[in-house]
Amino acid sequence: MSLVERLRVDVGSFDTAASLAFDERIVTAIGCDSETGTSQERYKAWRESQIGARPTEYLLPRVVRRIECEWPGFMHRAAREMSDDELRERLAALGPWYVPFALGDVNTMDFTDDFGSAIFADDNAMRMQFRTELIGGTIERLFGDELAGMSVLDIGCNSGWFSFDLAHRGARRVDGVDLRAHNIEQARFLGDYFGLAQTHFDVADATAFDDDRQWDIVLNLGVLYHVTDPLSFVQRTYELCTRFAVLDTICHEEPFSGFVLFDAKDPSHPHEGRESWEFHPTYRGAIDTLRYAGFREIVEIVASDDTAAGLYRGGARRCFLAIK
């Protein structure tokens, strides 16, 4: 007999006037009779019940940009000469791909799989183009010629998109690290193809990155919500940079400082983290974590309302420039 069955019988045998009772009713904020599904499904159901319940919060100074989406400049160069057939053969061997690089008339998204096709629809290129100008374009505008003397660390670089962008904009050296050797192999090929010799890529776990070096700029883009120890991870980001870090992350909008636990993740896919569960920050939680790590000043980089795209529209994704 299970504990619940035992309680049902034993407590039910008491006189109704007694001080002991057993209540099996489920009380939920989601509006259904039971708590079922994964944590993500339950959270989504609750979120849908809260649509329009509160305005978007802005608790930091903001740099507001009008964003024009276009292929980044590094894609207009090809230092390595290859025919389309040769290129297709090489990309197929390096596949599957999940980031849309345009290499002349060939696109890496021609070599994806069902996972890539399912989660990266036709607007995938637009999302990446938007983020490139929001992040790389803003860094270039704010720091101008200074960028030529700066080194960059791209944590969780995937196949190197943002590393290539800052290298093309003039960064002196860019190092990219990623958990998956498959992503790094793709990044190394593309760095050679685009002729960006100042980019260097290595396999490394971003949550246990023990390199003694420091970089002027640390990019922490789309990684924070894939880790299980976010405080230590952001603190390590602080230690690795000498000037500033850019932290771009999903942010949940509940007005408290904390993290939302998600489970049932699939760590076999290259856009997920190492574990099958992870913590997503709230907006206030992301800000307080950056402050806890030691960053002296924090500003947000946002797109003007008429040019914001995807989750950035409405504040479900945020981009922070954190100055050491």
Placement of tokens 């007694």 in the chain? 18
Q: Which of 33-47, 148-162, 215-229 has the lowest mean pLDDT?
A: 33-47
The pLDDT score that the predictor gives to residue 12 is 67
Residue 59 has, within 13 A of its CA and on its CB side, a CA count of 13
**pTM of the predicted model, to two decimals?**
0.88
Please tell me what DSSP assigns to residue 56: P
Query: Would you say residue 230 has pLDDT above 70?
Result: yes
Residue 302, CA distances (Å) to 42, 66, 90 in order = 29, 9, 37
In a domain, 17, yes or no: no
In this structure, what token pair is assigned to residue 23? 């209540």
Which CATH number is 275's domain given? Answer: 3.40.50.150
In a domain, 114, yes or no: yes
The pLDDT score that the predictor gives to residue 16 is 58
Mean pLDDT, range 109-129, rounded to an integer: 70
The pLDDT score that the predictor gives to residue 120 is 52
pLDDT digits 0-9 by tens, 291-324 = 999 999 999 999 999 999 888 998 999 999 999 9
Please tell me what DSSP assigns to residue 145: G
In a domain, 37, yes or no: no
In this structure, what token pair is assigned to residue 177? 């690290």
pLDDT digits 0-9 by tens, 163-185 = 999 999 999 999 999 999 999 99
The pLDDT score that the predictor gives to residue 118 is 44
Range of the domain at 214: 62-323
252 compared with 16, residue with greater pLDDT: 252
In this structure, what token pair is assigned to residue 245? 């870090």
In a domain, 131, yes or no: yes
Question: What is the per-residue DSSP string for 191-237?
Answer: HHHHT-TTEEEEE--GGG------EEEEEEES-GGG-S-HHHHHHHH
Residue 90, CA distances (Å) to 78, 80, 96, 97, 114 in order = 15, 13, 11, 12, 20
In a domain, 289, yes or no: yes
In a domain, 105, yes or no: yes
Q: Measured in whole angstroms, how far is the alpha carbon of residue 29 from the centre of its chain?
A: 28
Query: Would you say residue 279 has pLDDT above 50?
Result: yes
In a domain, 23, yes or no: no
Query: Would you say residue 32 has pLDDT above 70?
Result: no
Query: Would you say residue 122 has pLDDT above 70?
Result: no
Are 74 and 194 contacting, i.e. CB atoms less than 8 angstroms apart? yes
Total of domains in the chain: 1
Instruction: Give the chain's largest Cα–Cα span.
Output: 87
Alpha-carbon distance of 311 to 148, in angstroms, equals 31
* 282 phi and psi angles, rounded to 5 deg: -80, 165
In a domain, 32, yes or no: no
The pLDDT score that the predictor gives to residue 283 is 97
